[in-house]
């Protein structure tokens, strides 16, 4: 009697139910895009189809793709609006700049230097994420958004008053809010508002692509783990999450800190791609730019965010010939795409049109839909 | 087996107007439920001298410590007393019912039990320990799980994932394992997948495993919510209006399910419900709440005939002929809907006389 | 005396923030969206007033009126074209659109008026500064004007919202959009009106700000916009008196931080104060408590 199976539910209602997201499919598409994109860009550069200017954008493209992936962990998977992602990027970039410079004499092998710098940047950014996240993750919705914005600005401000330099003996010197005396220009590492100087660029397209792959690996794995499920459950229904014993703050913090450390690594890579880098680069606009990638790609859709990040990093470069008009065009495209993808009327028209012209359409699905349509028309 | 036959013979919700007597028979013959022993439930409730709760345990649970003991529980919302002096004792494998008109404070009691609200007064002793200082998460870890009046599922997760989330505390791997998908992760994931499937099989929902919870039909969502609560391995399951929005056949299916859950998992269940057919059929002890106070307690048949309960549900002013007639029509209407099934089983007249 | 000077310039700056914050808070109250383009409406107001007084040769006050009118139209058009199609689709989509609008306005201004900073002629040219206490206490005419302006705006706005039919409709819509619609309130009209008022106030703020700090560029509005937004949250977003208190406090904190702690870190200090306030009162100084029904 104990094994008696209860009557199964009425399965007729399931016709309208939606299949869940399939992790394997998502992973396949995401890695596919990354590998395909890498090969395509490498080929383009080798054959000379891609010009010098765009080739200079290869590392930033990878960095922004990583940032879009890591921000998706907070915005899409954890469901919290963050407007300060560039702050963590800044922590990583400047930590990386200092670490690489300090190691320059000790470790000759550049990739190893970069790897150590990436790890330390990740740790520092995670620490920043922890310090920021711990007090604020109890806040809700737009209040959390404004606090992340505030923290992003605070981090940028602090970077403006931090001075690091190497003296003649190779010792690292630090000063807060004032210049370091008696240092030659070559010895400067971080110089307040001027930022990182004298960086020997060690980031390459391949390293950056490997970092992006790592970021993707971590985020996709988390999404399909006990921790990721808990984070998404809390996003969907906080109260129900608490009722089954999920520690809301712990999981929100987990998403935030992991995302911050991944952003720190991306920032470190970004910093190693430019000979000078000012803190002003990591302002509110950069945070917003990363958020735009995530939202345009479809919130929570990892590969959508990747494509949006790549396209929107290339687009301003590609529109360079329109010079003055390019940012104007960019803003109009942004508004237009947002309205087209989120307005319910336009969205349904587009999907209806797509159903008509889609050559890959599933015949079974079509059969299922037809009687429903006629039913609606009759009504 | 004889028991099982009896249960299946039990008349369905509204097909045959089964009477008070034959239900009594079922309870007498139910070796799982057992007859609860009450002192004198027809005695009027007196707030100054509450009943001695201990004696309200069903016989089968009397030799064990009660799963839940609530003494003098009360909560105020800014000067307004929502619930006052609520007392309850629930046996280890008892199915208890909490009924009362809308706004009586039933869900508030659930919220206090699960610490969504911190009670202003009184104590809750769950599984022998006071829940003072615990929060919602601790309460669940201690072994109390609940469902919600307005279904709260993790809509964008699949059915299977909804259950896996609830298995969270028994899933043993760290964030690093989760990030890198180590062998430990794979082993544990395999195990909890099997376990989640076990729950789905018990509830006959294996087919739905891959569907998003938010897109399931209503009845399946309610079922999933119960399943999710069960997956946290509770000792006490709180169900907030499990039959709301269900049709009679779904409701009678649900009654089966609830009893099955109790038998299979050997846990206590405490439920809020407006469907009197369900409450009177499966609950062993019933508490009636009105305006935040307990107005009656007891065995289903006692509740049905309790004048205070009838007054709470049907109103007080019965002296006037016109209203009396109207109320009779109300009862008939309620009967037709299958609600308040046995209300006019001779006893309500007592209430009327008293009011006159 | 130094302290008093700082306090007055802080109040003056805070008044500008408060006027901008009013626009943020009213729009947030009624449509639950963070209108990041609001700061750029200030910049547009500043430019229009600048053009009117410098090239058309209008009186400063008349130019202000023209700027207010132009910004009102701009606000309504932005709402109609960019925000209304996305109403009810979640705050993130609208937020990104607002950022798009912000980019659009900045780049439009860049195309029309160029990147070079313009020196804005003060609306109170030739008046002040007034000296008190033997010349130690210096108050500029602009400071007085901004402080007077915020008091007048506050009084008028409070009366409008509490006494007039349109104001009551606005409050009803911000309380419960759907219920207001069922009561026969024209929600679209109420929202348009809110954007109109907010944008007109932005024009006032633009002219006052540029009079006090006479540099006008396409990005002029961006930072004050963010600061005013911070002020609105500080005071409790959605609350009109909250926006004023938040703006004033923030302005004073900023000036004090600048003159007594560090110019570079003044913004960081302002934002840190916001965070501390939100940690103590999660919905700002005068914000309503959010409670979720279980």
Within-domain flag for A368:
no
Same domain assignment for residues A188 and A256: yes
Within-domain flag for A199:
yes
Chains that touch C (3 or more CB pairs under 8 A): A, B
- pLDDT tens by residue, A242-291: 999 999 999 999 999 999 999 999 999 999 999 889 999 998 889 999 99
Per-residue confidence (pLDDT) for residue B7, from 0 to 100 = 37
- pLDDT tens by residue, B164-176: 999 998 898 999 9
Within-domain flag for A12:
no
Within-domain flag for A1:
no
Same domain assignment for residues A195 and A335: no
Same domain assignment for residues A295 and A345: no
Count of domains for chain A: 2
Query: Which of A116-125, B187-196, B329-338, C145-154 is predicted with the least confidence, judged by mean pLDDT?
Result: B329-338
Same domain assignment for residues A242 and A303: yes
Domain residue ranges of chain C, discontinuous segments joined by +: 20-221
Q: Categorize the per-residue pLDDT at A318 as very low, low, confident or very high, splitting at 50, 70 and 90.
A: confident
User: What is the nearest CA distance from B3 to chain A, expressed in angstroms?
Assistant: 11
Judged by CB atoms within 8 Å, which residues 202-231 of C form the interface with A?
A: 226, 229-230
Interface-testing mutation among C95, C228, C229, C257, with chain A (most A C-beta atoms within 10 A): C95
> Which residues of chain A have a CB within 8 Å of the CB of B155?
236-237
Chains that touch A (3 or more CB pairs under 8 A): B, C
Per-residue confidence (pLDDT) for residue A211, from 0 to 100 = 97
pTM of the model: 0.83
- Paired with B129 in beta bridges are B126
**Residue B80: how many CB atoms within 10 A of its CB?**
8
Per-residue confidence (pLDDT) for residue A171, from 0 to 100 = 81
Same domain assignment for residues A201 and A80: yes
**Whether pLDDT at C4 is above 70:** yes
Nearest by CB to B179, from A4, A221, A239: name it.
A221
Q: What's the CA gap between B169 and B186, in Å, rounded?
A: 17
DSSP C102-141: HHHHHHHHHHHH-SS-EEPPPTTTT---EEETTTTEEE-H
Q: Do C274 and A147 touch (CB under 8 A)?
A: yes
> Which residues of chain C have a CB within 8 Å of the CB of B107?
294
Judged by CB atoms within 8 Å, which residues 6-25 of A form the interface with B?
A: 6-11, 13-14, 16-21
Q: Do B220 and A240 touch (CB under 8 A)?
A: no
- pLDDT tens by residue, C62-107: 999 999 999 999 999 999 999 999 888 877 888 889 999 999 999 9
Per-residue confidence (pLDDT) for residue B13, from 0 to 100 = 33
Q: What's the CA gap between B195 and B113, in Å, rounded?
A: 28
> Which residues of chain A have a CB within 8 Å of the CB of B181?
221, 225
Q: Do C264 and A161 touch (CB under 8 A)?
A: yes
**Whether pLDDT at C10 is above 50:** yes
- pLDDT tens by residue, B107-161: 999 999 999 999 999 999 998 889 999 999 999 999 999 999 999 999 999 999 9
Per-residue confidence (pLDDT) for residue C166, from 0 to 100 = 92
- pLDDT tens by residue, B187-205: 999 999 999 999 998 888 8
Per-residue confidence (pLDDT) for residue A131, from 0 to 100 = 92
Go through the domains of chain B in sequence order and give each one's CATH number.
Answer: 2-143+234-315 (3.40.50.300), 152-233 (no CATH)
Per-residue confidence (pLDDT) for residue B345, from 0 to 100 = 38
3-state secondary structure of B239: strand
Per-residue confidence (pLDDT) for residue A61, from 0 to 100 = 95
Chain B residue with Cα closest to A229? B165
DSSP C135-161: TTEEE-HHHHHHHHHHHHHHHHHHHHH
Within-domain flag for A4:
no
Q: Categorize the per-residue pLDDT at C288 as very low, low, confident or very high, splitting at 50, 70 and 90.
A: confident
Nearest by CB to C265, from A147, A161, A342: name it.
A161
3-state secondary structure of C217: coil
Same domain assignment for residues A294 and A350: no
Nearest by CB to B211, from A19, A232, A247: name it.
A19
List phi, psi (to 5°) of C131: -110, 135
C274 near A CB under 8 A:
yes
Chain C residue with Cα closest to A334? C100
Same domain assignment for residues A28 and A119: yes
Same domain assignment for residues A354 and A214: no
The mean pLDDT of A148-159, rounded to a whole number, is 91
Chain C residue with Cα closest to B107? C294
From B52, A75, B273, select the one nearest C93 (Cα to Cα): A75
Same domain assignment for residues A64 and A169: yes
Q: What's the CA gap between A95 and A219, in Å, rounded?
A: 23
- Using an 8 Å Cβ cutoff, are C163 and C6 in contact? no
Residue percentage of chain A with pLDDT more than 90 = 48
DSSP B28-79: HH-TTT--B--S-TTSPP-TTS---GGGGSBGGGTTS--SEEEEEEEEEETT
Neighbour-count burial of B98, counting CB atoms closer than 10 A to its CB (0-12 exposed, 13-18 middle, 19+ buried) = buried
Q: What's the CA gap between B191 and B171, in Å, rounded?
A: 9
**Whether pLDDT at B273 is above 50:** yes
Within-domain flag for A39:
yes
Question: Alpha helices, DSSP H only, in C32-123?
Answer: 38-54, 60-78, 91-113
Same domain assignment for residues A175 and A280: yes
Q: Categorize the per-residue pLDDT at B330 as very low, low, confident or very high, splitting at 50, 70 and 90.
A: low
A247 near B CB under 8 A:
yes
Question: What residues make up the domain containing A353?
Answer: 325-360
Per-residue confidence (pLDDT) for residue B299, from 0 to 100 = 80
- Give chain A's end-to-end CA distance (angstroms, integer): 48
Q: What's the mean per-residue pLDDT of chain C? A: 89
Chain C residue with Cα closest to B147? C294
ipTM of the complex: 0.87
Query: Which of A195-204, A319-328, B49-58, B91-100 is predicted with the least confidence, judged by mean pLDDT?
Result: B49-58
Per-residue confidence (pLDDT) for residue B347, from 0 to 100 = 38
Q: Categorize the per-residue pLDDT at C207 as very low, low, confident or very high, splitting at 50, 70 and 90.
A: very high
Assigned token pair, A379: 């009504």
- pLDDT tens by residue, B32-64: 333 333 333 333 434 444 444 434 677 777 777
Same domain assignment for residues A139 and A272: yes
**Whether pLDDT at C40 is above 90:** yes
Residues from C in contact with B at Cβ < 8 Å: 294
**Residue C66: how many CB atoms within 10 A of its CB?**
18
Same domain assignment for residues A181 and A149: yes
The mean pLDDT of C230-255, rounded to a whole number, is 91
Q: What length does chain C have? A: 294
Q: What's the mean per-residue pLDDT of chain B? A: 76
């Amino acid at each position: 009697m104990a094994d008696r199976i209860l009557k199964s539910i009425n399965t007729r209602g399931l016709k309208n139910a939606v299949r869940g997201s399939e992790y394997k499919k998502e992973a396949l598409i995401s890695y596919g895009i990354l590998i395909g994109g890498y090969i395509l860009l490498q080929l383009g550069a080798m054959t000379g189809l891609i010009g010098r200017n765009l080739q200079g954008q290869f590392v930033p493209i990878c960095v922004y793709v990583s940032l879009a992936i890591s921000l998706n962990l907070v915005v899409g998977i954890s469901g919290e609006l963050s407007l300060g992602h560039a702050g963590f990027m800044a922590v990583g970039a400047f930590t990386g700049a200092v670490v690489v410079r300090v190691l320059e004499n000790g470790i000759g092998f550049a990739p190893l230097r970069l790897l150590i710098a990436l790890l330390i940047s990740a740790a520092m950014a995670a620490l920043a994420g922890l310090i920021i996240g711990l007090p604020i993750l109890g806040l809700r919705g737009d209040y959390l958004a404004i606090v992340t914005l505030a923290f992003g600005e605070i981090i940028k401000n602090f970077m403006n008053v931090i001075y690091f330099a190497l003296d003649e003996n190779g010792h690292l010197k630090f000063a807060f809010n004032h210049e370091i005396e008696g240092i030659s220009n070559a010895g400067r590492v971080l110089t307040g508002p001027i930022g990182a100087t004298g960086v020997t660029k060690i980031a390459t397209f391949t390293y950056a692509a490997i970092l992006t792959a790592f970021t993707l690996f971590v985020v996709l794995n988390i999404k399909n783990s006990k921790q990721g499920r808990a984070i998404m459950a809390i996003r969907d229904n906080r109260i129900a999450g608490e009722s089954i014993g999920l520690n809301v703050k712990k999981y929100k913090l987990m998403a935030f800190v992991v995302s911050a450390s991944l952003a720190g690594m991306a920032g470190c890579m970004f910093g190693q791609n430019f000979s000078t880098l000012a803190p002003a680069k990591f302002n509110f606009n950069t945070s917003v730019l990363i958020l735009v990638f995530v939202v345009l790609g479809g919130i929570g859709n990892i590969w959508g965010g990747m494509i949006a990040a790549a396209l929107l990093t290339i687009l301003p470069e590609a529109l360079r010939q329109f010079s003055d008009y390019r940012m104007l065009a960019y803003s109009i495209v942004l508004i237009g795409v947002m309205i087209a993808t989120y307005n319910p009327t336009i969205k349904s028209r587009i999907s209806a049109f797509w159903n008509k012209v889609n050559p890959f359409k599933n015949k079974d699905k079509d059969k299922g839909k037809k009687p429903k349509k006629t039913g609606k028309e009759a009504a | 087996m004889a028991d099982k036959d009896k249960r299946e013979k039990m008349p369905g919700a509204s097909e045959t107007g089964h009477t008070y007597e034959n239900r009594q028979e079922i309870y007498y013959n139910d070796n799982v439920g057992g007859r609860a022993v009450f002192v004198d439930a027809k005695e009027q409730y007196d707030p100054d001298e509450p009943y001695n709760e201990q004696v309200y345990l069903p016989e089968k649970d009397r030799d064990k410590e009660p799963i839940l003991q609530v003494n003098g529980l009360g909560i105020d919302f800014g000067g307004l007393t929502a619930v006052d002096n609520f007392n309850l004792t629930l046996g280890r494998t008892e199915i208890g019912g909490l009924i009362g008109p809308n706004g009586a404070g039933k869900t508030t009691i659930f919220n206090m039990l699960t610490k969504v609200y911190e009670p202003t007064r009184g104590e809750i002793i769950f599984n022998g320990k006071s829940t003072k200082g615990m929060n919602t998460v601790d309460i669940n870890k201690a072994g109390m799980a609940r469902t919600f009046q307005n279904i709260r599922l993790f809509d964008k997760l699949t059915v299977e994932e909804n259950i896996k989330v609830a298995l969270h505390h028994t899933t043993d791997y760290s964030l690093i394992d989760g990030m890198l998908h180590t062998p430990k992760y794979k082993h544990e994931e395999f195990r909890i997948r099997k376990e989640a499937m076990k729950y789905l099989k018990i509830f006959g929902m294996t087919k739905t495993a891959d569907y998003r919870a938010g897109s399931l039909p209503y009845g399946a969502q309610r079922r999933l919510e119960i399943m999710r609560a069960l997956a946290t391995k509770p000792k006490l399951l709180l169900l907030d209006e499990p039959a709301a929005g269900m049709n009679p056949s779904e409701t009678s299916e649900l009654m089966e399910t609830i009893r099955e859950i109790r038998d299979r998992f050997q846990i206590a269940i405490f439920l809020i419900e407006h469907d009197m057919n369900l409450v009177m059929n499966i609950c062993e002890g019933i508490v009636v709440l009105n305006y935040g106070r307990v107005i009656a307690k007891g065995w289903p048949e006692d509740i049905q005939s309790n004048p205070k309960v009838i007054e709470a549900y049907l109103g007080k002013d019965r002296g006037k002929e016109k209203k009396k007639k109207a109320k009779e029509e109300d009862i008939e209407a309620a009967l037709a809907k299958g609600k308040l099934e046995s209300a006019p089983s001779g006893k309500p007249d007592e209430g009327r006389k008293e009011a006159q | 005396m130094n302290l008093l000077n700082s306090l007055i310039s802080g109040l003056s700056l805070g008044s500008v923030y408060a006027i901008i914050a009013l626009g943020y808070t009213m729009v947030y109250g009624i449509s639950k969206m963070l209108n990041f383009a609001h700061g750029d409406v200030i910049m547009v107001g500043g430019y229009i007033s600048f053009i009117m007084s410098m090239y058309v040769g209008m009186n400063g006050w008349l130019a202000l009126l023209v700027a207010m009118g132009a910004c009102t139209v701009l606000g309504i058009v932005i709402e109609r074209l960019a925000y209304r199609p996305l109403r009810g689709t979640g705050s993130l989509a609208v937020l990104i659109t607002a950022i798009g609008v912000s980019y659009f306005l900045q780049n439009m201004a860049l195309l029309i008026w160029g990147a070079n900073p313009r020196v804005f002629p003060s609306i109170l040219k030739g008046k002040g500064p007034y000296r008190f206490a033997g010349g130690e206490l210096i108050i500029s005419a602009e400071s007085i004007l901004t402080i007077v302006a915020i008091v007048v705006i506050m009084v008028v706005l409070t009366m409008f919202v509490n006494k007039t039919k349109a104001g009551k409709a606005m409050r009803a819509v911000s309380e419960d959009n759907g219920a207001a619609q069922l009561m026969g309130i024209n929600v679209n009209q109420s929202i348009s009106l809110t954007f109109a008022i907010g944008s007109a106030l932005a024009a006032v703020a633009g002219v006052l700000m540029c009079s006090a700090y006479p540099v006008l560029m396409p990005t002029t509005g961006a930072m004050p916009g963010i600061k005013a937004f911070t002020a609105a949250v500080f005071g409790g977003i959605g609350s009109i008196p909250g926006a004023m208190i938040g703006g004033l406090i923030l302005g004073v904190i900023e000036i004090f931080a600048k003159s007594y702690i560090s110019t570079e870190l003044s913004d960081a200090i302002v934002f840190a104060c916001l965070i501390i306030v939100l940690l103590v009162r999660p919905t700002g100084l005068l914000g309503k408590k959010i409670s979720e029904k279980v």
